[in-house]
């Protein structure tokens, strides 16, 4: 789903592949449903900005929620 991850430190932007162009808002919506707050940085970029003191357990939980969100968007895109 992502073709490039860019950023510095923990402020990251995940650029969507052309097949998912314009779906950043869908990823954010599905992430919210899974309990993860992420940001939109344009129609094709999902932005992550966790606190610098984030515990490893929260990172693991966030990645699991992101996995659910990505799977939901991929399933919707394939069904369309």
pLDDT, position 41: 96
Q: For residue 30, give its domain range.
A: 2-79
Q: Which of 50, 16, 18, 46 is nearest to 31 (CA)?
A: 46
List of E strands, the chain: 2-8, 11-16, 39-40, 45-48
d(CA 59, CA 17): 24
Q: At what angle do helices 24-33 and 56-79 cross, to 10 degrees?
A: 120
Q: What is the CATH number of the domain that holds 68?
A: 3.90.1150.10
Number of domains in the chain: 1
- How do residues 29-48 score in pLDDT, each as one tens digit? 999 999 999 999 999 999 99
Mode of pairing for the β-strands spanning 39-40 and 45-48: antiparallel
Q: Is the pLDDT of residue 80 over 70?
A: no
pTM: 0.90
Residue 66 has pLDDT above 80, yes or no: yes
Report percent pLDDT > 90 for the chain: 94
């Amino acid at each position: 789903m992502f073709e490039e991850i860019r950023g510095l430190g923990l402020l990251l932007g995940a650029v969507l592949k052309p097949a998912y162009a314009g779906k950043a808002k869908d990823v954010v919506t599905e992430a919210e449903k899974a309990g993860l707050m992420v940001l939109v940085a344009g129609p094709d970029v999902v932005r992550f900005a966790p606190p610098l003191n984030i515990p490893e357990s929260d990172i693991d939980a966030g990645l699991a929620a992101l996995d659910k969100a990505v799977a939901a968007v991929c399933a919707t895109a394939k069904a369309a």
